[in-house]
Amino acid sequence: MNAAIVGIGATDFSKNSGRSELQLAAEAVSAALRDAGLTPSDVDGLVSFTMDTNAEIAVARELGIPELTFFSRVHYGGGAACATVQQAAMAVETGAAKVVVCYRAFNERSGHRFGQVQTAAAANIDNSWSYPMGLGTPAAMVAMFARRYMHEYGATSEDFGRIAVIDRKHAATNPHAWFHNRPITLDDHQASRWIAEPLRLLDCCQETDGGVALVVTSADRARDLPQKPAHVKAATQGSGPDQFTMTSYYRDDLTRLPEMGVVARGLWERSGIGPSDVDVAVLYDHFTPFVLVQLEELGFCGRGEAKDFVASGALELDGDLPLNPHGGQLGEAYLHGMNGIAEGVRQVRGTAVNQVADVEHVLVTAGTGVPTSGLVLGAS
């Protein structure tokens, strides 16, 4: 694609920001534009995704962005993170806009907490087959998949725990991470309380107050801007057969994420690279079990083999597939995948705190269990 991410910006990541969600959005967008060497008057497109309270026009007002020719909002919450970049890249390629900013900002810990039972969500007719039965939190919905996955492949709670340990290890050396200097052991994971068996507390990501923004423009224009561009090699969305939001329980196989399989096919096809060409993987980690399933869907290992792949040390910073060098959402912050895209950009630039050597390609995925999306970012 002829598009690149040329600016990234974020607020601090906290549990109580002390300011409005709109202020967080405005601060993040402002920081991303400064990073890109652009001004609000250069912006003519804004993209966010559902479950964000900041309207595009409100963000434009705060920043003093005079005119917008493209604004879009992608569905399915965290599954839309990488799709915001796809929207921006398509807008840039088609000429719908020249500079598009993707943003996400919320007080998800001090304000509306996504980990609680969203009683209002039961008004959705699809949710009427789960919420009234008592299945009303994201953790519990993922746990239903995880239990079947364990049954089919002999995976254990410890296999899930290893993902949390890696994320927290990487977060421990990232000063921007909420869990900076706070690594955990597998014993800590095993000792953490049940949230929704088979998920423990440390299988579940944190809740964060904060904002992240990304600036997308054409590769041509990127050449004239100060930062090394992170080229959008491929960006795609994915929805699978008989798709539901978090509760696709009625398909043949509960051990898979077919929507991520759709994303994987699209990414490899359009970027021209394959799993072995990926230097860094930023995989969406709101709950540990789905990181294992993603490794399988994306083709890094065979079905049911993720537990062995993880145990082999492949996901360490010096392994074959360094995972979430920023600490992921379990370790750094839960900005619904947007902080992971920012990390992908830093890895391509060579400016990450836990920098992997000679990064050519970074794979980034978005929320799992829902219709999702993914990105391949490239250095050239």
DSSP annotation of 204 reads B
Shortest Å distance, C-beta 311 to other proteins: 24
Chain residues in the site for other proteins (CB under 8 A): 115-117, 119, 122-137, 140, 143-145, 147-148, 151, 193-197, 242, 247, 249-250, 254
Contact yes or no for 155/292 (Cβ under 8 A): yes
The token pair at 200 is 């423990």
| Minimum gap (Å) between residue 146 Cβ and other proteins | 9
Per the CB < 8 A criterion, the answer to whether 138 and 115 are in contact is yes
334 counts as catalytic:
yes
Residue type at 315 in one-letter notation: L
Two tokens at 23? 């202020």
Between CA 327 and CA 301, with CA 206 as vertex, the angle to 5 degrees is 50
Tokens of 162: 């290893």
Residue 378's closest CA among 232, 216, 166?
232
Is 103 among the residues known to form the active site?
A: no
**CB closer to other proteins out of 116 and 181:** 116
How many Cα atoms sit within 13 Å of 372 on the Cβ side?
31
* Other CB atoms within 10 Å distance of the CB of residue 121: 14
Q: Which amino acid is at 270?
A: R
Please name the amino acid found at residue 252: D
Q: How far is the CB of 262 from other proteins (least distance, A)?
A: 17
Confirm if 339 and 205 have CB atoms less than 8 A apart. Answer: no
In the complex, the smallest distance separating the C-beta of residue 149 from other proteins, rounded to whole angstroms, is 9
Nearer to other proteins, 146 or 376 (CB): 146
Between residues 50 and 129, which has the closer beta carbon with respect to other proteins?
129
Residue with Cβ nearer other proteins (170 or 256): 256
Among 76, 149, 153, 334, the active-site one is: 334
Would you say 141 or 359 has its CB closer to other proteins?
A: 141
CA 360 distance to own-chain centroid: 20
CA atoms of 208 and 205, how far apart (whole Å): 9
Whether the bond between 198 and the residue before it is cis, its omega within 30 degrees of 0, is yes
Q: How far is the CB of 251 from other proteins (least distance, A)?
A: 9
Between residues 207 and 279, which has the closer beta carbon with respect to other proteins?
207
Catalytic residues, by residue number, are 284, 334
